[in-house]
Amino acid sequence: MLCAHFLFDCLVLPLNILIRIRNTLSSSVFALFRRLSTMTIPKTIPMNMIVAVDASNGIAKDNSLPWHLPQEYKHFQSGTIKTNDPAKKNVVLMGRKCWESIPTKFRPLKNRINVVLSRAMPREISDDFLVLNDFDEAIRILTTTEPFASRVETIWNVGGKEVYALGLAHPLMKDLVITRIQKGFDTDVAFPEVDWENFERNDDFDGKEIEEKGLVYTINSYTRKTFGK
Ligand SMILES: NC(=O)c1ccc[n+]([C@@H]2O[C@H](COP(=O)([O-])OP(=O)(O)OC[C@H]3O[C@@H](n4cnc5c(N)ncnc54)[C@H](OP(=O)(O)O)[C@@H]3O)[C@@H](O)[C@H]2O)c1
């Protein structure tokens, strides 16, 4: 009798405890998986880029656009304002000279969150206008801090040269929308070199020739092949 009790204490009881621990663990692991699967995983905010280049890849002369194309400007306006979610806004991210080249009465660009990069201007952060002195910090603030992370649909990188170059090398870079004007101007700033092997042409713009004010241009959009991969 004593021996049976001893066997029960030494073998059956610990086994029972082990089974209970295993059952508790597996139900909490199951609960954890269930919780993870119902959690909303925040989507990445993409960075798109929009530019108009001349026949020599030039984008500016004496801190302004060397051409005056109202229809092409409308394409810039509508493209950077449009959102799929009406509750959200897009960002226009630009360098200080680009900001200064916008006539005072038109800036900040309406219906968009304007973000200016400058190492000289004083830092400023408000709901719709920011001045920051570092590209990566700007992306971090816009994508990970409120009220921006949940309000921003797309970051539109609108140049100039250094801001474009940093954007082209950034993992969030997605679409490149480019207007190619078929005439050379006397420009002093160029769009950075693009490795077109990394991009795939889309068919959202048909790329047909558009004539405006005696100039001919085409509009095409490309998506970075490795975006989201
Ligand atoms: N054709 C087009 O599609 C197109 C597009 C955009 C612009 N543009 C034209 O291009 C011209 C401006 O281009 P841009 O290349 O000369 O100048 P920009 O990029 O607009 O401005 C350069 C300035 O931005 C600031 N900046 C740039 N990168 C920065 C960084 N990583 N961190 C902090 N600050 C940074 C610096 O400002 P601080 O000196 O204040 O430190 C720098 O001097 C304008 O004429 C504009 O009209 C044309």
The structural domain count of the chain equals 2
- H helices of the chain, in order, are 2-7, 13-38, 70-81, 96-101, 135-144, 161-168
Q: Which residues contact 18 (CB under 8 A, 6 or more apart)?
A: none
Q: Indicate if 56 and 36 belong to the same structural domain.
A: no
> How much of the chain, in percent, has pLDDT values that exceed 90?
78
Q: Indicate if 163 and 136 belong to the same structural domain.
A: yes
The answer to the question of residue 229 being in a domain is no
Question: What is residue 16's predicted lDDT score, i.e. its pLDDT?
Answer: 63
Residue in 163, 191, 219 to alter for ligand 1 test, most ligand atoms within 8 A of Cβ: 163
pLDDT in tens, 158-182: 999 999 999 999 999 999 999 999 9
- What spacing in Å lies between the alpha carbon of 141 and ligand 1's midpoint? 20
For residues 67 and 75, give the distance between their C-alpha atoms in angstroms, rounded to a whole number.
15
The answer to the question of residue 194 being in a domain is yes
Q: Indicate if 17 and 101 belong to the same structural domain.
A: no
- What spacing in Å lies between the alpha carbon of 42 and ligand 1's midpoint? 31
Q: Indicate if 113 and 154 belong to the same structural domain.
A: yes
Q: Indicate if 92 and 106 belong to the same structural domain.
A: yes
- Indicate which atom in ligand 1 lies nearest the CA of residue 96: 24
pLDDT at 101 over 70: yes
Q: Indicate if 2 and 62 belong to the same structural domain.
A: no
The answer to the question of residue 205 being in a domain is yes
Burial label for 207, CB within 10 Å (0-12, 13-18, 19+), is: middle
Residue carrying the six token digits 């095409």: 220
Question: What is residue 66's predicted lDDT score, i.e. its pLDDT?
Answer: 96
- What spacing in Å lies between the alpha carbon of 117 and ligand 1's midpoint? 8
Q: Indicate if 72 and 175 belong to the same structural domain.
A: yes
Label residues 70-105 b or e (16+ Cβ within 10 Å = b).
Answer: eebeebbeebbeeeeeeeebbbbbbbbbbbebbeee
64 lines ligand 1 (CB under 6 A): yes
- Indicate which atom in ligand 1 lies nearest the CA of residue 166: 31
Range of the domain at 25: 1-41
Active site (catalytic) residues: 65, 72
For residues 143 and 165, give the distance between their C-alpha atoms in angstroms, rounded to a whole number.
20
- Indicate which atom in ligand 1 lies nearest the CA of residue 98: 20
Q: Are the C-beta atoms of 113 and 107 separated by less than 8 Å?
A: no
Nearest to 163 by CA among 36, 17, 21, 48: 48
Distance of CA 80 to the CA centre of its chain: 12
Q: Which residues contact 181 (CB under 8 A, 6 or more apart)?
A: 52, 53, 54, 55, 67, 69, 215, 216, 217
Residue in 48, 59, 106 to alter for ligand 1 test, most ligand atoms within 8 A of Cβ: 59
Q: Are the C-beta atoms of 169 and 193 separated by less than 8 Å?
A: no
> How much of the chain, in percent, has pLDDT values that exceed 70?
81
Q: Return phi, psi of residue 171, to 5°.
A: -60, -25
- What spacing in Å lies between the alpha carbon of 63 and ligand 1's midpoint? 9
Q: Indicate if 61 and 18 belong to the same structural domain.
A: no
The answer to the question of residue 117 being in a domain is yes
Q: Which residues contact 14 (CB under 8 A, 6 or more apart)?
A: none
Q: Of all protein residues, whose CA lies closest to atom 32 belonging to ligand 1?
A: 134
Q: Indicate if 87 and 190 belong to the same structural domain.
A: yes
The average pLDDT across 91-110 equals: 97
- What spacing in Å lies between the alpha carbon of 189 and ligand 1's midpoint? 10
The answer to the question of residue 7 being in a domain is yes
Least-confidence region, from 30-34, 61-65, 102-106: 30-34
CATH at 153:
3.40.430.10
Q: Indicate if 114 and 130 belong to the same structural domain.
A: yes
For 119-161, the DSSP string reads: SSSPPEE-SSEEEES-HHHHHHHHHHSTTTTTTEEEEEE---H
Q: Indicate if 123 and 33 belong to the same structural domain.
A: no
158 lines ligand 1 (CB under 6 A): yes
Q: What is the pTM for the complete model shown?
A: 0.85
Q: Indicate if 16 and 70 belong to the same structural domain.
A: no
